[in-house]
Amino acid sequence: MSINTKQTLKCPKCGQMSDITVWNSITVSDSPDLKDDLLKGRVNVFRCPSCNQVGLMSVPMLYHDEDKRLMISFSPTNDVVLAEQLYENVAETSKESGELEKLEGYNLRFVTDYNELLEKILIFDMGLNDKAIEVIKLMILSQEVEKSEQRSARFGKLRDNVLEFMIIDTVENQIYTSSVPKESYDTVWQSLRESGVKPYSFDWERVNPAYATKLLNGFNN
């Protein structure tokens, strides 16, 4: 069920008061239009009608796609310590409430970044798995090891059997693109599956570069 609350906010720049609808939960089957808005970066984003100031609302949101058996818990924060606490809260609450048992066969993801949320939705929409995607991103970044600290990779699209990634370089202030044949993705996913990685979750998971590093070091799930 999609759930929202109405809030009246004061613009931090010009002081103008305006009403905003804050989405706490989005269920795709209820609200396909809302998913479109989310992918366009319009959900839980404050836009001042007076001065056009834009900012992301600092509110958690749950994204639920029943058809794809995907649930993403989004808690916006840049603080790594807080992120870990929020993750543990979500995992615990879900276990204690018995919700976790009802989500058998689901992929459960916990993210703290709006772009990460959109990336995960895109990945699963394309029928791909983010565990393989994170490993491929590491492989791409490791091609220029000396620059891997200043770069991050983001899945862009899958078209004509080619996966396209954006490589964001914060020092050079550039965005590069990198292409990977779908066949290579299939090979990576296949070998992860053979090493014991499951295409569904037993608990809430943070599938990010740290996760991919652990996988490459031989830990499964």
**Least CB distance from residue 10 to Zn ion, whole Å?**
9
Q: Angle at CA 38, nearest 5°, toward 131 and 138?
A: 25
Q: For Zn ion, which residue of 5, 16, 170, 213 counts as binding (CB under 5 A)?
A: 16
Q: Are β-strands 3-10 and 17-27 bridged in parallel, bridged antiparallel, or unpaired?
A: antiparallel
| Contacts of Zn ion in 55-114 (CB under 5 A) | none
Q: Which stretch binds Zn ion (CB under 5 A): 8-16, 70-78, 172-180, 196-204?
A: 8-16
Contacts 24+ apart (CB under 8 A), 209-213: 209/134, 209/137, 209/138, 209/152, 211/131, 211/134, 212/131, 212/134, 212/135, 212/137, 212/138, 213/138
Q: Does 174 bind Zn ion (CB under 5 A)?
A: no
For residue 126, how many C-alpha atoms fall within 13 Å in the half-sphere facing its CB?
A: 22
Q: Does 11 bind Zn ion (CB under 5 A)?
A: yes
Q: What are phi and psi of 146, to 5 degrees?
A: -65, -15
Q: Angle at CA 205, nearest 5°, toward 200 and 206?
A: 130
Structure tokens at 125: 């929409």
What single-letter DSSP state applies at residue 116?
H
| Contacts of Zn ion in 194-213 (CB under 5 A) | none
Q: For Zn ion, which residue of 53, 89, 148, 184 counts as binding (CB under 5 A)?
A: 53
Beta bridge pairs of residue 71: 64, 108
**Least CB distance from residue 12 to Zn ion, whole Å?**
8
Q: Does 14 bind Zn ion (CB under 5 A)?
A: yes
Residue 42 or 159: the one with the smaller Cβ distance to Zn ion is 42
Q: Does 152 bind Zn ion (CB under 5 A)?
A: no
**Least CB distance from residue 51 to Zn ion, whole Å?**
3
Q: Which stretch binds Zn ion (CB under 5 A): 3-11, 36-44, 62-70, 92-100?
A: 3-11
The answer to whether the beta carbons of residues 41 and 118 sit under 8 Å apart is: yes
Q: Does 51 bind Zn ion (CB under 5 A)?
A: yes
Taking CA atoms, 208 is separated from 27, 113, 132, 138, 216, in Å, by 24, 11, 11, 10, 13
Q: Which stretch binds Zn ion (CB under 5 A): 47-55, 61-69, 119-127, 190-198?
A: 47-55
Residue 47 or 214: the one with the smaller Cβ distance to Zn ion is 47
What single-letter DSSP state applies at residue 10?
E
**Least CB distance from residue 4 to Zn ion, whole Å?**
22
**Least CB distance from residue 48 to Zn ion, whole Å?**
3
Positions in the binding site for Zn ion (CB under 5 A) = 11, 13-14, 16, 48, 50-51, 53
